[in-house]
Amino acid sequence: AQSVTQLGSHVSVSEGALVLLRCNYSSSVPPYLFWYVQYPNQGLQLLLKYTTGATLVKGINGFEAEFKKSETSFHLTKPSAHMSDAAEYFCAVSRQGGKLIFGQGTELSVKP
């Protein structure tokens, strides 16, 4: 069975600081991994995804994530936080039939 764990339901950083949102997965087969962002009262928007190939994946808005098979991790990073990055972030892994399993979400706050 596949599952996703996001460490930390709430992360707070200062503007300009490094953003690190943690995601660990369990999967018996090579996974497809995704990060989504949700702004208040909106749907989820795809930030980036890992399917095959390069393990460092670049997404929109300056975010990137690295697939580390040995650590079963897919952490999301951004070198310098901006106020507009404040949102909720969801990590997800695909399972048989294409259905995604989502983590519980991490709310990112950015302090001026």
Partner 1 sequence: DGGITQSPKYLFRKEGQNVTLSCEQNLNHDAMYWYRQDPGQGLRLIYYSQIVNDFQKGDIAEGYSVSREKKESFPLTVTSAQKNPTAFYLCASSNFHDSNYGYTFGSGTRLTVV
- Enumerate binding residues for partner 1 (CB under 8 A): 9, 32, 34, 36, 41-46, 49, 51-52, 90, 92, 94, 97-100, 102-105
Contact 57, 48 (CB under 8 A): yes
DSSP string, 91-106: EEEE-GGG-EEE---E
Diameter over CA atoms, the chain: 43
The smaller minimum CB distance to partner 1, of residues 17 and 100, is found at 100
Shortest separation between residue 41's beta carbon and partner 1, angstroms: 7
Shortest separation between residue 65's beta carbon and partner 1, angstroms: 14
